[in-house]
Amino acid sequence: MESIQATKQRFGIIGNDPKLNRAVEKAIQVAPTDISVLVTGESGVGKESIPKIIHSLSHRKHGKYIAVNCGAIPEGTIDSELFGHEKGSFTGATATRSGYFEVADGGTIFLDEVGELPLPTQVRLLRVLENGEFLKVGSSKSQKTDVRIVAATNVKMAEAIEKGKFREDLYYRLSTVEINLPPLRERQEDIHLLFRKFAADFAQKYKMPTIRLDERATSLLLQYRWSGNVRQLRNVAEQISVLEQNREINYDTLKHYLPNMGSNLPAIVNAKKTESDFSSEREILYKVLFDMKRDVNDLKKLTLELMKTGNTAKVKEEQSSLINKIYAEDNNAEEELASIIEEEENNGSQSDVEVFSIPEHAAEQRKDKYEYAEDIEEEENLSLQQKELELIKKSLEKYNGKRKDAADELGISERTLYRKIKQYDL
């Protein structure tokens, strides 16, 4: 069996991280078998190296090795690409075509980004894994193939299965052995080693002196999170090699080539915040608004009854609970109601109305009732208030300041409109 160090040298794998060494060791161990392998890891960690190791050290090394990027092939043509098609099976199928599984018979197929496969194609792939058979598109004749499948993905497969985007039975068929490659940020000792290797390669390629990092720049290199992993590190080394005249790279120069420096610092984030969380917040907001609307309607009925009957004592006796509930909502309710009644009298109403007192504990009750709504996002509240303010302004302008007409158009009571005018200082 070939050693780990010899294999890494042969395939250009740089680094001595224990997790990386373990991944290479597992690839060497499974290579002589026909076991299906799933390579996992973030984008840019170098997953494409593992299937090459497996194929080269297997008994299939003289057969074909085909790498397929499943995410780059359109959904409508991927079945044809993988399994082939018969002439006339669809528009544009002017001739019979052999797919990758037919061409690679006796060899290895590397399915990169296998998590992006559409569900119908997953069913076809599962059949190949189970009994080595496949059907060309437009054909009813089953064909046999002897292909070793190595797949890779940067998708969290458990989440994809839970959301119904990936078949659970196919996942278990693909991941007989799972090989995980660690992200670059977990290989701190390898980062500077990789950078120096890339710098030397590009110096030779572009025929110029090799770039070097000073102490502070090296420290920054190790602290950066490298969300694009080895691929991003390689790109940064190439950019600096080509663009910088001074071959001694300091902290400020390197920082210029590292995007989103502020966002790469550790942060506490609630990763479980989903659409359902925002939905529940909206529901709370709607409930508050509907409760307020109902209370305003109750107040309107009570006020109208007072104006019609003039018998405040009877109303206060029958509606005492309603009065307490409504006027607990606003510390300034007495002043507002008195203003509206006075305005009605000035407009010709002859009702003899007596304004009843408001419970002293009104402000505390109102605060207790609505304090659970204060946690709703400030941005959403501001948006609602702004739209409400714009509607009120337009209606008042349309009817030249006549509150009754404006309230009718807005679908609210005149008392509510009066309160909103005071609230927004119009």
Q: What is the spatial distance between Cα 426 and Cα 406, in angstroms, rounded to a whole number? A: 14
Token readout for 300 is 């309107």
Range from 42-46, 52-56, 318-322, 376-380 carrying the lowest mean pLDDT = 376-380
In angstroms, what is the C-alpha Rg of the chain?
Answer: 36
User: Please, are residues 9 and 122 in contact by the beta-carbon 8 Å criterion?
Assistant: no
For tokens 């224990």, the residue is: 18
Residue 63 reports pLDDT greater than 70:
yes
- Whether the model pTM is above 0.85: no
The CATH-assigned architecture of domain 377-426 is: Orthogonal Bundle (1.10)
Taking each helix axis from N to C end, the angle separating 378-398 and 403-410, rounded to the nearest 10 degrees, works out to 130
Location of each CATH 3.40.50.300 domain in the chain:
4-182
| 133 bridge partner residues | 144
List phi, psi (to 5°) of 277. Answer: -65, -45
Q: What is the spatial distance between Cα 54 and Cα 37, in angstroms, rounded to a whole number? A: 9
Range from 62-66, 252-256, 301-305 carrying the lowest mean pLDDT = 301-305
Q: What is the pLDDT of residue 382?
A: 54
Q: How confident is the model at residue 410 (pLDDT cuts 50, 70, 90)?
A: confident
Positive or negative: CA dihedral 345, 349, 354, 360: negative
Residue 354 reports pLDDT greater than 70:
no
The CATH-assigned architecture of domain 186-264 is: Orthogonal Bundle (1.10)
Looking at residue 7, the DSSP 8-state letter turns out to be H
For tokens 């690679």, the residue is: 104
CB atoms within 10 A of CB 115: 22
In single-letter form, the type of residue at position 9 comes to: Q
Q: How confident is the model at residue 362 (pLDDT cuts 50, 70, 90)?
A: very low
Location of each CATH 1.10.8.60 domain in the chain:
186-264
Q: What is the pLDDT of residues 339-348, one digit of tens each?
A: 555 555 555 4
Q: What is the spatial distance between Cα 43 and Cα 227, in angstroms, rounded to a whole number? A: 8
Q: What is the pLDDT of residues 186-230, one digit of tens each?
A: 999 999 999 999 999 999 999 999 999 999 999 999 999 999 999
Strands 148-153 and 37-40 come out as: parallel
Can you spell out the DSSP letters for 361-415? THHHHHHHHHGGGGGS-HHHHHHHHHHHHHHHHHHHHHTTT-HHHHHHHHTS-HH
Q: What is the pLDDT of residue 242?
A: 95
User: Please, are residues 57 and 32 in contact by the beta-carbon 8 Å criterion?
Assistant: yes
Give the mean pLDDT of 236-243.
96
Residue 414 reports pLDDT greater than 50:
yes
Q: What is the spatial distance between Cα 136 and Cα 84, in angstroms, rounded to a whole number? A: 5
Token readout for 176 is 């007989």
CB atoms within 10 A of CB 219: 14
Looking at residue 151, the DSSP 8-state letter turns out to be E
Location of each CATH 1.10.10 domain in the chain:
377-426
Q: Which of 169, 246, 229, 177 is nearest to 22 (CA)?
A: 177
**Helix (H) or strand (E) segment spanning residue 68:** strand 65-69
Instruction: Indicate the CATH number for domain 4-182.
Output: 3.40.50.300
Q: Which of 416, 309, 389 is nearest to 352 (CA)?
A: 309
Can you spell out the DSSP letters for 319-367? THHHHHHHHTT-TTHHHHHHHHHHHHHHTT------PPPPPTTHHHHHH
Strands 133-135 and 142-144 come out as: antiparallel
Residue 132 reports pLDDT greater than 90:
yes
